[in-house]
Structure 1
Amino acid sequence: MSDPSTGVSRAWVEVDEGALRRNLRRVKDAAGASALVPMLKANAYGLGMGPVLEMVRREAAPHELWAVGVAAVSEGEALRALGWGGRVMVFAPMPPGEYARAARAGLTPALSEIDAVRRWAQAAKDEGRRLAFHTEIDTGMGRAGFAAADAAAWGAEVARAAADLLEWEGCFTHFHSADEPEPEPTDRQQALFQRALELLPPGAGRRVLHSANSAGAVRRGGFGGDVVRPGIFLYGGSAGPGAEPEPVASLRARIALVREVEPGSTCGYGATYTATRRERWGTLSIGYGDGLPRRLSPAGGEALVRGRRVPIIGRISMDVTVVDLTDVPGPVEAGETATLIGTDGGESITVDEVAARVGTISYEVLTGLGTRLPRVYVAPDGTRTP
């Protein structure tokens, strides 16, 4: 990785289209006949909503791509601006002031309370057309959704509030532990979901049923749902034991400065690192202002240079990071590339490894990669597009 043809001089994120599409194919194969709702929220987990949407469309046939998923009305509006005319589901609860916007954009919300159904019905009346919605059923996640045990009561209320203005298109639940080794918590949630469906009025919300996230799709075959909702697995993050995807995102930075230092030299704010020998240090053009976790430094973080792991030393600064190049053979020069996430030669640093070092999850690492980092998209034929 000493001279990639990216045309980027400082630091960047590479997105491997072939890997993302193969991960999506694996979800399709695991879930069988289920259709797909790829999650494109948070700018496609930080990798770029527009380009990722096109990758998904190139891999999934129109009949397989039932919808795309977002968390905010603004994200649905962005998809419409990109020309996506298919179904867009908004999975997070919408603030009261956003129902009219969602209706104008033709979005399909997930509703979790009777007042939300009434607001959506009013939006349909204002728009002069029927609007679809799904009800979330809370089986233990706790952050949103109608209570599973009370489905008979709220089911009747939802049906009345929807009346002729709304189409109660489907119901879903969200697993809290599908990526954990033990299957029992997920089995209990699925059973609660099924019991709640049995309590609903005849036909209400049963047209489209779904519960499987990435882990539920890849590890458990989608639980027979009509659709599955893959997220982190598409982007190269683990969905639990036996659900390891191909890496998709790589984080790379140029070495801006190489210098020899004497024993006793200190590095970074707080002078937390002291050279114990004559050392060669490399200053990388990336820092926590770009989304590189600052906690990597005391947590034993590393980079790859010429296919070798080198330690991060001193505290990570907002704009730069220092690594110890002493044990890399040959003279390392400014302009060469360091890899913070990804593969160089026979060595790899995965996004899950970085997340584990700093005590977080791959979702946070990916979505935290800042806008100062250009995204470079690598097509299956090797073509790179900034």
Structure 2
Amino acid sequence: MSDPSTVVSRAWVEVDGAALRRNLRRVKNAAGPGAAVVPMLKANAYGLGVAAVLRMVRAELSADELFAVGVAAVAEGEELRALGWTGRVVVFAPAPPQEFARAAAAGLTLALSDLDSVRRWAHEARGAGTRLAFHAEVDTGMGRAGFPYAEAAGWGAAVAAEAADLLEWEGCFTHFHSADEPDLAPTDEQHRRLAAALDALPATVAASARRVVHSSNSAASVRRGGYGGDLVRPGIYLYGGSAGPGAQPEAVVSLRARIALVRDVPTGWTCGYGATYTARRPERWGTLSIGYGDGLPRALSPAGGQALVHGRRVPIIGRISMDMTVVDLTEVPGARAGDAATLIGRDGGDEITLDEVAAKVGTISYEVLTGLGPRLPRTYADGTQAAPAA
């Protein structure tokens, strides 16, 4: 990882690219030799920097292994094009009607969930004079998008008719709602529903619809081997977040901040907005150059949040402010202004994990990662540094 003594920043995010690549390879290996991969790079690659993560993905996977990259928004696909990515980009969230023309201009592949969207996409193809690709999402219980699995016999023929020779129907997919839970029975049922929908498609359209079939996110890729699908779509596992029992990845992210100020305070001195903390003895406090304006969860302090300083855990005290966070350094007498404190990651023999932080504040690792804000530069294991994320 980056040497904290060489990083010139008030606070920053470290990304272990080698660990990310090993997590990606584990997903690919778990899914078997016949499965290709669609790494999810949405939300600025889960907050880690899409340009850098794209380089890591391309370095790890061969052209045959890397089917596409996945995003959630047309603008994210446009950004990938601006970065020079000429391969397939699949936009998995439904695109608003106003963005179809932009998606066509960028050569993106859309996930479509209703006949109106298929008609709209066909209209763009006619205007562009080129075939546009799409994947049909099948709703097997997620409820937020997709054609209903039980009505495949009807919508399958209608989709094929609307697509005609204007669109390239590349395949079908579904999204699991509980693949990271201990009980995989609901996920197995969703997989059965997808299979039933594919079996119900009219014979005249089955070949197109079955060209590629995919369902597995990180959890199902690792825990169920991707269900033997043509593609797997890993996300959080790549970035170091747990994908459920038996799917623990290597840590990828560290969050560090400088100690900007160290002060000795008397018994009874109060800390933070609302004066929610009072010194119980003469104490030594350190002010960290990070706050909720950088994405450090404000709820972390009352939830018993900690930092690592010189390899020792110290408590966060008082309320986390927008730009500052205070820790009790009384038990770390050697700590000085300018030292690095670790909010996520390893320091010495101890580690505060991403999932530990998420659990303390009652959320998920996805939200913690994507919440890391634009003031935090991203540094990478090879020593490179990205500008603050936009």
Range of TM-score over shorter length: over 0.9
In 2, are the aligned partners of 1:378 and 1:385 still within 8 Å (CA)? Answer: no
Which residue of the partner structure matches residue 248 of structure 1? 252
Q: Does 1:304 align with 2:304?
A: no
Distance 1:281 1:200 in 2: 66
Distance 2:29 2:150 in 1: 33
Partner residue of 1:277 out of 263, 267, 281: 281
Distance 2:237 2:280 in 1: 42
Distance 1:94 1:21 in 2: 30
- Counterpart code for 2:81: R
Distance 1:231 1:5 in 2: 31
Which residue of the partner structure matches residue 287 of structure 1? 291
CA shift in 2, pair 1:99/1:186, >3 Å? same
Q: CA deviation at 1:204?
A: 3.6
Which residue of the partner structure matches residue 179 of structure 1? 180
Encode CA deviations 1:4-59: one digit per residue, 9 max, x unaligned. Answer: 24432300000000110010011011011210000000000000000000001111
Encode CA deviations 1:301-323: one digit per residue, 9 max, x unaligned. Answer: 00000000000000000000000
1:65 aligned counterpart, secondary structure: coil
- Counterpart code for 2:22: R
Distance 1:27 1:333 in 2: 42
Which residue of the partner structure matches residue 28 of structure 2? 28
Q: Does 1:143 align with 2:141?
A: no
Matches within 5 A, 1:145-160: 145-160=146-161
Encode CA deviations 1:67-124: one digit per residue, 9 max, x unaligned. Answer: 0000000000000000000000000000001111101100000000000000000000
Q: Does 1:340 align with 2:343?
A: yes
Which residue of the partner structure matches residue 385 of structure 2? 385
Distance 2:290 2:12 in 1: 9
Distance 2:21 2:3 in 1: 26
- Counterpart code for 2:377: P
Encode CA deviations 1:196-227: one digit per residue, 9 max, x unaligned. Answer: 00111222411000000000101110001101
Matches within 5 A, 1:50-69: 50-69=51-70
Q: CA deviation at 1:186?
A: 0.4
Distance 2:335 2:190 in 1: 54
Partner residue of 2:358 out of 355, 358, 374: 355
Distance 1:238 1:90 in 2: 24
Partner residue of 1:315 out of 319, 323, 333: 319
Unaligned runs of 5+ in 1: none
Q: Does 1:88 align with 2:89?
A: yes
Which residue of the partner structure matches residue 8 of structure 1? 8
Q: CA deviation at 1:378?
A: 1.1
Q: Does 1:258 align with 2:254?
A: no
In 1, are the aligned partners of 2:286 and 2:327 still within 8 Å (CA)? Answer: yes
1:80 aligned counterpart, secondary structure: helix
In 1, are the aligned partners of 2:377 and 2:385 still within 8 Å (CA)? Answer: no
1:167 aligned counterpart, secondary structure: strand
Which residue of the partner structure matches residue 326 of structure 1? 330
Q: CA deviation at 1:331?
A: 2.8
Q: Comparing 231-240 with 193-202, which one deviates more in the overlay?
A: 193-202
Q: CA deviation at 1:2?
A: 12
In 2, are the aligned partners of 1:2 and 1:336 still within 8 Å (CA)? Answer: no
1:211 aligned counterpart, secondary structure: strand
Distance 1:111 1:6 in 2: 48
Distance 1:139 1:384 in 2: 43
In 1, are the aligned partners of 2:46 and 2:239 still within 8 Å (CA)? Answer: yes
- Counterpart code for 2:166: L
Q: CA deviation at 1:350?
A: 0.8
Distance 1:108 1:88 in 2: 6
Distance 2:6 2:357 in 1: 24
Distance 2:208 2:154 in 1: 13
CA shift in 2, pair 1:2/1:75, >3 Å? closer
Q: Does 1:166 align with 2:167?
A: yes
TM-score (norm 1): 0.97
Q: Does 1:125 align with 2:143?
A: no
Percentage identity across aligned positions?
A: 74
CA shift in 2, pair 1:304/1:175, >3 Å? same
TM-score (norm 2): 0.96
Unaligned runs of 5+ in 2: none
Aligned-residue RMSD, C-alpha:
1.2
Q: CA deviation at 1:3?
A: 6.4
2:281 aligned counterpart, secondary structure: coil
Which residue of the partner structure matches residue 103 of structure 1? 104
Distance 2:228 2:246 in 1: 19
Encode CA deviations 1:261-304: one digit per residue, 9 max, x unaligned. Answer: 00000000000000001100000000000000000010000000
Q: CA deviation at 1:342?
A: 0.4
2:320 aligned counterpart, secondary structure: coil
In 1, are the aligned partners of 2:241 and 2:354 still within 8 Å (CA)? Answer: yes
Encode CA deviations 1:231-287: one digit per residue, 9 max, x unaligned. Answer: 000000000000000010110000000000000000000000000011000000000
Distance 1:244 1:6 in 2: 30
Distance 1:4 1:269 in 2: 30
CA shift in 2, pair 1:325/1:5, >3 Å? closer
Distance 1:265 1:152 in 2: 71
Distance 2:39 2:185 in 1: 26
